[in-house]
Amino acid sequence: MDRYTQAIAASKVPVDEATVKAEVQKILDKAGDYATPETFRFLLQSIDLTTLSSEDSQHSVAEFTRKVNEFDNDYPQYGHVAAICVYSNFAEVVDTELDVEGVDVAVVAGGFPSSQTFTAVKVADVALAVAGGADEVDVVMNLGMLRDKNYEELTDELVELKHTAKDALLKVILETGALRTPHAIREASVLALYSEADFIKTSTGKIYPGATPEAAYVMCRCIKEYFETTGRRVGFKAAGGIRTSADALAYYAIVKEVLGDEWLTPRYFRIGASSLANSLLSTLEGTEVKYF
């Protein structure tokens, strides 16, 4: 066996669907215990506030960014989101317009959302985004290579993208809705973790079904196992269909129960969303707020 196959085979993360569902349900049953203003404030501060529309423009992205600036003035008691996430060609727009210290410029790049293009194109996209001011880069794992078990080419590509990103965080999207089974999600997680990913992320939210608690559970178990083996801490990002405070609370509970409080910081826990911020703000304010 090659080293990638060995790493996958060595994993003890459960992949029996019934077992995963049962373990997730145990966590979800206690998620309500964490429903405090402090938790909802933290969740708001963990959002990658996202706009990924075909109609995005320099003007609309600039307005989107200015809204984050205004929020910092209008609701200073809640802090700020973790990042603004846009298409790679808008990195410079966000970087120019953003006034709030501590909010990162995040982009999707590398043939998003399918990952179906030349590696050289992905490398150029990541390099241009970082040159434009991106602090974080979200790329999609090539699922065709994964399906063919072409592990070496797959991991080599991800490593090259990480080296291209340099100090920018690299978040590898597994597209768990396409992978479907815990077994496949574990396989993809292990490969991403051993490819120098700074985060592993559930979904693009564009083609396949988005995040699920079951996928998050398997991914977090893989992150924990990897940390215990290597001592390297990798973040987790849930994205795709997370719209309500209750949705977000479920992922908070999974991260807390599986990974522990050390991961409950925006450095290691993110939620990619567009409408979630309004739901969390409404929960905190006790009345419906449509700010973003």
* Positions marked active-site: 138, 201, 237
Tokens 């050289």 sit on residue: 120
How far apart, in whole angstroms, are the C-alpha atoms of residue 19 and residue 26? Answer: 11
Burial of 75 (0-12, 13-18, 19+ CB in 10 A): middle
> For tokens 């402090």, what's the residue?
38
**Letter for the amino acid at 78?**
Y
- Are 166 and 157 spatial neighbours (Cβ–Cβ below 8 Å)? no
Place of tokens 């969740």: 43
Contact (CB, 8 A) for 253 and 233: no
Kindly tell me the burial class for residue 233, based on how many C-beta atoms sit within 10 Å of its own C-beta (0-12, 13-18, 19 or more).
middle
User: What sign does the dihedral 248-254-259-260 (CA atoms) show?
Assistant: positive
Q: Is 54 helix (H, G, I), strand (E, B) or coil?
A: coil
Q: 178: Cβ–Cβ under 8 A, 6 or more apart, which residues?
A: 143, 207, 208
| CB-based contacts of 281, cutoff 8 Å, min separation 6 | 44, 75, 78, 289, 291
CB atoms within 10 A of CB 98: 19
Q: What is the dihedral of CA 81, 196, 203, 247, to 10 degrees?
A: -50
